[in-house]
Structure 1
Amino acid sequence: MLRIVSRGRKVQRCCWSEQRRWLSQPGVAQKQGNDVVLGVPRLPSFDYSPPPYNGPAADEILMKRKKFLSPSMFYFYQKPLNLVHGKMQYLYDDKGRRYLDAFGGIATVSCGHCHPEVVEAIVEQTKRLQHSTILYLNPAITDFAEALASRMPGDLKVVFFTNSGTEANELAIMMARLYTGCQDIISLRNAYHGNAGATMGATAQCNWKFNVVQTGVHHAMNPDPYRGVFGSDGEKYAKDVEDLIQFGTSGNVAAFISEAIQGVGGIVELAPDYLPAVYKSIKKAGGLCIADEVQAGFSRTGSHFWGFENHGVIPDIVTMAKGIGNGIPLGAVVTTPDIAEVLTRHNYFNTFGGNPVCTAAGHAVLRVVEREGLQANAHTVGSYLKHRLIALKDKHQIIGDVRGRGLMLGVELVTDREEKTPARVEIVHVMEQMKDLGVLIGKGGLYGNVFRITPPLCFSKDDADFLVDVMDYVMSKM
C-alpha cells in the first residue's frame, strides 16, 4: 500500500517500509495526518571524535598549492575541502565536521581510512626496516607475494611489485611487447590506464585526459551498453577488435588491455560476452590479455575478488594498485612463470617496488578483507545501494542510467533521457549540494556527467540510505 510523502513542496510516493525507515530517524521526518514530511537527511551516528586540528587554514593551503604545485592539478568543489583526518568510511575537515566518503575506495582506500590493523602493520615495519629489496632478502615482500598469488586463478603465480597503477600497466605493456616480439597494443576508447607514455597512449579519449599518440596503439570501439551503438550485444563490439587485428596490426598483436568496469570512464560495465570473444581473438593472433584491476579488484565488485572473474575469463597478466595498500603507494603485476621469464633477458628492477613497509601494508589489507568479510559486504550493501538508486531513477528524470557492481556504482545524469544529453552543469550543482549536506562523491565519464560511487568496503546500509536520501533531497529541490 502506498502513502503520500511530502518533501518541502515536492510530493512523492513510497511504500510503508520506506516510510517506517524515515520515521525511525528522529528529527528527519514527522507524521502530519496521512503525510510524512521529510526534513534534511542526517549522517548515521558514529561514535568517534577526531583529534583537534591546529594546522594552517584551507585558504593558506590553497594559496601555497597554486604557487608551488603543478598547475595541472585540479580539485572538486568551488571551495576545496581541507580534509585532515579519516576514520573508516568517514572523513573530517579542519573544523571537525564529518563527511561520508563515497569516493575514497577508488582513490586509495579499500578497508577504511586509518584501519588500525593496516596502520599497525605500517608502523611496526617502519620501526624495523625500510629499504630497497633489490639485493637483499626480507620476509615482508615474499609473504605478501605468496598471499597475493594464492588469490589468482590458473597459472598466474609470479608477482612484480611497483609503486603505482601507472607503473604496473607500463610494466605489463612492456612485458607483452618483449614476450610476443610485437609492438601493437589494443585498448578501449574511454579507457583509463595511467599517466606515463604507454599508458596515456592506451588511455584514448577518456574524460579530461588528452590523448598521447603512440605508435602501435589502437583504440577499439567501447562496448558501452548505455551509449554504445550495439547496446548490450558484446559480440558485435568484439568484431571491431577482430578488424583491428586484421587490418590495423597485420595480424600481429602484443596485447589487449582493458578494465573489467571502466572507472574514470564513468563506471561503464563492458557488454556481456564481450571479453570472452575478444580474449579468443587476441590469443588466436598470438597476443596476451591484460586485465587492469587497479580500480575493480580486491573485492570491490562484491561477487568476485577480481573484476575479470565476472566475465568468466583468465588473463595472461593482471595489474593492480590503489586499494591494494589502503592508501600506501603500492602496485603489482601478476603473470605466469613463462611470461615472467622474459624479464630475465633484460636488466629490469624497481628500487622501491615491494619495499618492506608497503608490502606489510598490502598483506594487512588482504587479511582485513578476508577476516571482516568485506567482499560479502560489498555484495550485500552494493546490491542494496544499487536497488535504491534504481528506485531513485524512477523518480527523477535527470537520472539516465544506474550501473555497476558491488561498491563500484555509477549514476549518469542527463537533461533528456531520449537524447541522453549529458547534464554537465546539473551534476556540479548536485555534487556541491551533497557536499554541503555531508556526502563526498566522485564524478567522471567522457562528458563528466556520471557520479562515481566507490566508497570504502566497510560502507554500511545506513551509509547507503544516507547517500541516496541526500541525493534525493537535492534533486527534489532542483
Structure 2
Amino acid sequence: MAKSGAMRLGNIIRRLGTAPDLQPKCDLYPKEYFGPSQQQIDKLRSEHIPPVSKDYYKKPLLISQGHMQWLFDHEGKRYLDLFAGIVTVSVGHCHPRVNAALHQQIDTLWHTTSIYRHPKLYEYIVKLTATLPNHLNVVYLVNSGSEANDLAALLARGFSGNHDIISLQCSYHGYSSALMGLTATQSYRYPLPVPAGYYHTMLPDPYRGIWGGCRDSISQVPGACSCPGDCVTSDKYIHQLSELLENSIPKGRVAGLFAESIQGVNGAVQFPKGYLKKAKDLIKKYGGVYIADEVQSGFGRTGDTYWGFEGHGVTPDIVTMAKGIGNGFPMAAVVTTKEIAAAHNKAAYFNTFGGNPLAATVGKAVLKVIEEEKLQENCKVVGKYFIEQLMELQKVYPMIGDIRGKGLMLGLELVRPGTKEPLASELVANVLENAKDLGVLLGRGGRWANVIRIKPPMCVNSKDIDFAISVMNEALKTVSQNIR
C-alpha cells in the first residue's frame, strides 16, 4: 500500500508539474475587473482598516470573483481555494442553485422580523431539524458563530441554574467580549480581565498530549496505540477533567461543556476515541449540559456523518452552527431541546436579523444542494483520497510532523525535522506564499500558527486534489531547502 501510494504520488507530480495552465479546467471565464487598483486598495486599507486586521500573504491577493472551488484575482488569475473563506463556503462559491434561490427571494421579500411570520423561516427549520436527532427540535436563527455560542452559553446557564462553563485548551469559540473567556487560544485573548466563570480543561491531543492516543482518522501519530474501541488514553484525559470539576469549580455548579467535534482554528486537532462521549457523561453527572460547536465540522464536512458529534457516538443538548450553514451568507443557528428553550422564558429575547427571509432562503438552498449533490459522500471519498496523498508527502518531507482529520477537514502540522518543535513562523508563511503563487490557497492555524489547514468547498474533486498535491510538493520542497 505504501509503495503503491508513493508511486501514485510520483505519477501525479510528474504528470501535472506546477504550471498554472495545468490547473483542472473551470467552465467560467472571469469578468473584467473595473474596481480600485491594488495600490488604491493598499492606501485605503492603511487609512481605514484597523491594524489588527492583518494581511495573510506578503503579496496580498485582491479577489474579485468566485466560482465553486475557484477564486479569481483582479488580474484574472485563478486559484484553487482549499480554505473556503475560513471553512465557510460549503457548497461552492456562487453556487448557481443557491444564487438562483436568493435572487428569487430578493425580488419577493428582503426582511421582516419575528413580530411577523414569513414562510421561508418555517420551511427552513423543518429541513434543518430533519438532519439532527429528534430531541433537538427548537431553533434559534442568529447571525454569526460568536453570537450562536454566546446564546448557547446563556441557555446552558439559564437551564442548569449554574454559572461555570468549561472548554478545552486551544479551543476557539468566538471573539465577543462575553466569549473571550470561553476561547482558550492565547493569541485571541485580549489582555484585559474576562468575565468570570470560564475554565479550560486539558486538551486531549494525540500528537502533543502527554498520553498520546489514537483517533478517528486513517492517519495516526507514529507509534500511536490502535485501540479497537475507545482509546485507552481517553480515561486519563477524562481524569484531568474530573480533577478540574472537583477542585476548581464550586460543587455542583457547572453549567456546561463546550467542545468542537474537531478543533478548527487549532488545526484539525482530533481527540482520542471515546473522549467526547465520556466527557459529556461526566458533565451531565455534575449537572451541566454538553454544547457541540459545529461551526466548522458540521454539514457533512467530516464525511462519515452529517454532524461531527455523530462521529463520536454522542448526542448534545445544544448545537451551535455557522459558517457553512449559509455558504458565505451571514447566518448561524442554535438548536436545542424544548426543555432548555423553555428556561429562556425568564427574560424576553429578540433578534432583528436572525432568520430573515433572505437568510432562511439561502440556508434552505444550501441544505438541498448538500443532499442532492451528495456532498457529504464527496467529502468522505475525496477527503480519504486527499489524506492518503498527504500521508505520502509526509514520507518525503520530515517537516510534516502530523497529518490529521477526516473528510475535508484536514491539518498538517509543520515542525523542525526530527522534533516536535513548531516550524518557524516565517517558513510556514513561505509554504503558503509559494502555494498561492502556484495557484492554491491554503489556511493556517494551530497554537503556534504552524498548521496548514485544509478545508475546501465540499465540491472539490480528485483532479483538484492531484493539482493541490503537486503544488504543495513544490511549496514544501522550496521551504525544506532552507531549514537548517
Aligned residue for 1:422, secondary structure, equals coil
Query: More strand per residue: 1 or 2?
Result: 1
For 1:49, give the aligned amino acid: Y
TM-score (normalised: structure 2): 0.91
After alignment, is 49-58 or 383-392 more displaced? 49-58
What does the per-residue CA deviation read over 1:57-76, in whole Å, with 9 as the maximum and x for residues that have no partner? 12211221221122211221
2:380 paired with 1:379: yes
Q: C-alpha distance in 1, partners of 2:9/2:278?
A: 43
Aligned residue for 2:254, secondary structure, equals coil
What does the per-residue CA deviation read over 1:163-204, in whole Å, with 9 as the maximum and x for residues that have no partner? 000000000000111111111000111000011123221102
Task: Specify the alignment match of 2:184 in structure 1.
Answer: 204
1:8-47 alignment runs, 5 A limit = 14-15=6-7, 17-18=8-9, 21=12, 25=16, 28=17, 42-47=22-27
> Conserved in 1, the CA contact under 8 Å of 2:265 and 2:445?
yes
Q: Structure 1 residue aligned with 2:45, among 44, 61, 65?
A: 65
Q: C-alpha distance in 2, partners of 1:217/1:266?
A: 23
TM-score (normalised: structure 1): 0.92
CA RMSD of aligned residues (A): 1.9
CA shift for structure 1 position 473: 1.4
Flag as ranges the 4+ runs of structure 1 deviating above 4 A. 17-25, 38-41, 206-209
2:164 paired with 1:163: no
Task: Specify the alignment match of 2:122 in structure 1.
Answer: 142
2:109 paired with 1:129: yes
CA shift for structure 1 position 441: 0.5
Q: Structure 1 residue aligned with 2:209, among 224, 228, 232?
A: 228
For 2:381, give the aligned amino acid: T
What does the per-residue CA deviation read over 1:266-286, in whole Å, with 9 as the maximum and x for residues that have no partner? 111122111111111100011
Task: Specify the alignment match of 1:7 in structure 2.
Answer: none
Q: Structure 1 residue aligned with 2:197, among 191, 209, 216?
A: 216
For 2:242, give the aligned amino acid: E
Higher relative contact order (CA 8 A, sep 6+): 2
Task: Specify the alignment match of 1:351 in structure 2.
Answer: 352
> Conserved in 2, the CA contact under 8 Å of 1:207 and 1:265?
no
CA shift for structure 1 position 424: 2.2
CA shift for structure 1 position 238: 1.4
Aligned residue for 2:179, secondary structure, equals helix
What does the per-residue CA deviation read over 1:297-350, in whole Å, with 9 as the maximum and x for residues that have no partner? 011101111011110000000000000000100000000011011122211111
Aligned residue for 1:120, secondary structure, equals helix
2:391 paired with 1:410: no
Task: Specify the alignment match of 1:239 in structure 2.
Answer: 239
For 1:230, give the aligned amino acid: W
2:380 paired with 1:399: no
Task: Specify the alignment match of 2:431 in structure 1.
Answer: 430
2:450 paired with 1:469: no
Structure 2 unaligned blocks of 5 or more: 214-232
CA shift for structure 1 position 44: 1.1
Task: Specify the alignment match of 1:51 in structure 2.
Answer: 31
What does the per-residue CA deviation read over 1:48-94, in whole Å, with 9 as the maximum and x for residues that have no partner? 20111111112211221221122211221012100000000000000
Q: C-alpha distance in 2, partners of 1:58/1:234?
A: 51
Q: C-alpha distance in 2, partners of 1:126/1:41?
A: 38
Report percent identity of matched pairs: 44
Task: Specify the alignment match of 1:78 in structure 2.
Answer: 58
**Alpha carbons of 1:213 and 1:46: their partners in 2 closer, same or farther (altered >3 Å)?**
same
> Conserved in 1, the CA contact under 8 Å of 2:401 and 2:420?
no
Q: C-alpha distance in 2, partners of 1:88/1:53?
A: 19
Q: C-alpha distance in 1, partners of 2:242/2:19?
A: 55
Structure 1 unaligned blocks of 5 or more: 4-12, 29-37
Aligned residue for 2:101, secondary structure, equals helix
Aligned residue for 1:416, secondary structure, equals coil
